[in-house]
Structures are given as C-alpha cells and as structure tokens.
Amino acid sequence: MRPEVVEAMKPFFENNYGNPSSFHSMGLKAKQALDSSRETVAKCLNCKPSEVIFTGSGTESCNMAIKGSAYAHMKTGKHMITQKTEHHAVLHSLEWLEKTHDFEVTYLDVDKYGLISLSELENAIRDDTILVTIMYANNEIGTIQPLQDIARITKKHNVLFHTDACQGGGLLEIDVQKLGVDMMTLNGSKIYGLKGTGLLYMRAGVKIESWIHGGGHEFGLRAGTENIPGIVGLAKALELGQAERRFESKRLNQLKNYFIDNVLKNIPDTFLNGHPTQRLPNNANITFLNVEGEALVLMLDYEGIYTSSGSACTSQKLKPSHVILAIGLPYEASHGSIRFSLGKRTTKEDIDYVLEKLPAIVERLRMLSPVRLTKSEVLNE
Ligand SMILES: Cc1ncc(COP(=O)(O)O)c(C=O)c1O
C-alpha cells in the first residue's frame, strides 16, 4: 500500500474508531470521513457523491451490478451480453443467473488482440437485453476495450452498461461522463489501497435491487457497517492515482515497451499477448513457447521476481487461462504465457535485472520440455 494511504487510514483504527451510524461525536467523525471520502471519489469520477456505493471488493461490485440489475429488470427481459475474457467475478455471476434464473447470456468473441467487435455487440442486442457488461482493461493481457463506443451503442438501444474497471483505477481515464457508462466497478487492491475494498458507481436513475439485506447503509443498497479505514484508504488511493495518472502512465509505458522489445529481441519463440498499443501501461503478457508457465513463475520467484501465469486469482489451478484461449492461442502454447506487471516502485534497474535473468531460465526450462513449437507455427506467420 502507498504510505500516504496507510497514514490516512491510521486514525480510523486508533482514536477515531467510531461507527458512522452512531449519534455521539466519535460516530460523527466517522460519518464525516465517510462523506468526505465519497466526495473525493465523486470528484475523481466526475459524478455526484450519491452515485458512489462502497462495497467490500471488486468482485462484490460486479456481483451487485449484474445480479442487482437482473433482479430489478427481469420482468423486462432475461438476456445479458458480455465477452469471453472477463474476470470470473463477471463470468461466474452471469453463469449463476443462467443456472438459477433461466437467464440467457451472449458471450462475445474477441479478436487476436482481445478486442470485441462493436458490430457483433450491436447485433447481439435483443428486445429482452437488459445489461451489457464489458470490462475496461483486461487483467491478464491488458487490452483496453473502447468503452465510449460501447456506451454509444447501449444508449441507442436503451440497455444498461456496466464496466469492470478494476484495472483502470490508477492509470486510465475514469471520468464516467466521458466514458458514458451507467455502472462502473473499482477496487482498492489495484490502486495501492486496501485489499477487500471496492465501490460501484451507479448513474442516478439506474435501478438495481439490493441483495445484501440489513440496515439501510449505502443508500439501502449494501447493508453492513461501513469499513471506514478501508473507504478512507480507497478514496485517498484513487485521488493520488488519478492526480499522477498521466505522468505515471507515460513512465510505465516507456519501461514496459523497453522490457517487451528486449524480451522479444533476445529470446526466440516469444510473442506479446494483447493489443500492441491499446493496452494498460503496466502490463506485459508474453508467451514463451515450449516452457511450462508455472515452472517459469517458480524459477523467477527464486530470483526475487514475482510474476503470474493466468490471473492471480486463478493461477493456482493448472488450467490454461480462459483469456489466452479466447484470443486464439492453441492449448499447448497457452501454458507458457506469463504476465509481468509493473508498478509504482518498478525502476529501469528492476527491468534490467529481469532481462538479465530471464534468458538463461527460459533456456533451461526448454531443455526439459517435450514440446517443440515455433512462433511461426503458432501465429501462422
Ligand atoms: C478486472 C478485475 N475484476 C475484478 C477483480 C476482483 O477484484 P477483488 O479482488 O477486489 O474482488 C479483479 C482483481 O483484482 C480484476 O483484476
């Protein structure tokens, strides 16, 4: 976590441990912190404070947007649209609605870069479509979807549009008026805030049904005593991230491109996954053919380099990533895809250290591999 975020949170673990629902002065201080955090977030998103609902994670916000819309609008229709590289917070929520409430879901294909087709999206909208949920930036391959174009289509057809923007909070534009979204999910853990914190932006007038019942917290939409330190930290992290976003995106883009160029130049049979330019500034997902991804992650770990095969949430399963399969990589090639994420503290020296260690590790693992694929075979070049 960012030290400034930890500092901002500290008083609410210590002297200001009030409950914002209490009438005494300590409760009032907590209520003031809650209100001012909501205002800070609203400024960052360019929306009204009453359009911000604090939750317990990005997963919860996605569930809330999807299941909440389903319950509120199922009399109008039971069809939703998404795409195949979404996070499981979205995919599994939709699968649950299919299984338990007879919803129909269209899972749009993506191209080799991970982008949806806008014409396919528009063609998939039906009279009974109530929600389109398409992520902002992909957590594995970094591809950024064209939210403004999607919003134009959903508006034209009068369908709600939710975006899972967990990967965008620290580095991308999150002005909801510019993006045109009706609902947007963000979380703390991706922006140097506290893990287990999140929020849902909901445009005024959008109706969803609450599915966590209890007290009237969060405008009656999310019952439960508010996590004041976490909320204060989330607001602080978002505010700092957005203030530094342009500078930090530029710095990370330069470092990331330097890293990608050198890996592809120095290690044969490697290629970049995701869009070459329309991607997160901090994400480099690279396939190393004829390498077992998990073994590569472990060997890099011995050198103090922390990477991921698949998404961090699912990488303990030895299944190829659904994202890598969706962009069309064959099964045998999908195992050697590794995600390198750069961050605030990543320097050129760090990148040079990884570039120094990587070739020998890949070479050693390739000697053990029974698979012999070439880049031209896999990419049909
Ligand atoms: C794109 C995306 N959506 C949803 C989530 C889930 O968020 P959380 O871990 O806060 O539940 C993540 C992981 O952080 C993510 O990267």
CATH of the domain at 304: 3.90.1150.10
Residues 256 and 234 in one domain: no
180 phi/psi in degrees, rounded to 5 = 80, 15
381 belongs to a structural domain: no
pLDDT digit string (tens) for 132-156? 999 999 999 999 999 999 999 999 9
Residue reference for tokens 């199922």 = 74
Pocket test for ligand 1, best of 85, 187, 238, 339 (most atoms within 8 A of CB): 187
Last residue of a domain, one of 227, 242, 257: 242
Of 44, 62, 166, 313, the active-site residue reads: 313
What are 103-117's pLDDT values in tens digits?
Answer: 999 999 999 999 999
**Ligand 1 centroid distance, CA of 189 (Å):** 8
Q: Using the atom order of ligand 1, give the atom closest to the CA of residue 187.
A: 10
207 and 63 inside one domain: yes
Strand-pair category, 270-273 with 283-288: antiparallel
Listed residues 195, 220, 242: the one ending a domain? 242
Q: How far is CA 116 from the centre of its chain?
A: 16
**The dihedral formed by the CA atoms of 205, 206, 209 and 210, expressed in degrees to the nearest 10:** -80
Decide if 147 is inside a domain: yes
Q: How far is Cα 293 from Cα 280, in angstroms, rounded to an integer?
A: 22
pLDDT, average across residues 191-200? 98
Whether the per-residue pLDDT at 316 is higher than 60: the answer is no
Indicate whether 209 and 333 sit together in one domain.
Answer: no
* Protein residue closest via CA to atom 7 of ligand 1: 58
> Do 215 and 320 fall into the same domain?
no
**Is there a single domain that holds both residue 250 and residue 365?**
yes
Q: Please state the atom number of ligand 1 nearest to the C-alpha of residue 61.
A: 11
Please tell me the distance between residue 380's alpha carbon and the centre of ligand 1 in angstroms.
33
Q: Which pLDDT tens digit goes with each residue over 218-247? A: 999 999 999 999 999 999 999 999 999 999
Residue 146 gets which letter from DSSP?
A: -
Range of the domain at 298: 245-372
Residue nearest to atom 16 of ligand 1 (CA): 139
**63 inside domain:** yes
Average pLDDT over residues 303-325: 77
Give yes or no: 313 in active site.
yes
Note whether residue 141 is domain-resident.
yes
29-38 b/e with 16+ CB inside 10 Å = b? bbbebbeebb
**Ligand 1: which of 60, 83, 86, 87 to mutate, most ligand atoms within 8 Å of CB?**
87
CA of residue 193 relative to chain centroid, distance:
14
Contacts of 136 (CB under 8 A, 6+ apart): 144, 145, 147, 163, 164, 165, 166, 167, 168, 172, 184
- Ligand 1 atom nearest the C-alpha of 136 is 1
Q: For the chain, what is the domain count?
A: 2
Q: Looking at ligand 1, which atom is closest to the CA of residue 197?
A: 10
**Cβ-proximal residues to 1 (8 Å cutoff; 6+ apart), any chain:** 192, 193, 194, 233, 237
Ligand 1-lining residues (CB < 6 angstroms): 57-59, 87, 89, 135, 139, 164, 166-167, 187, 189-190, 198
6-30 average pLDDT score = 94
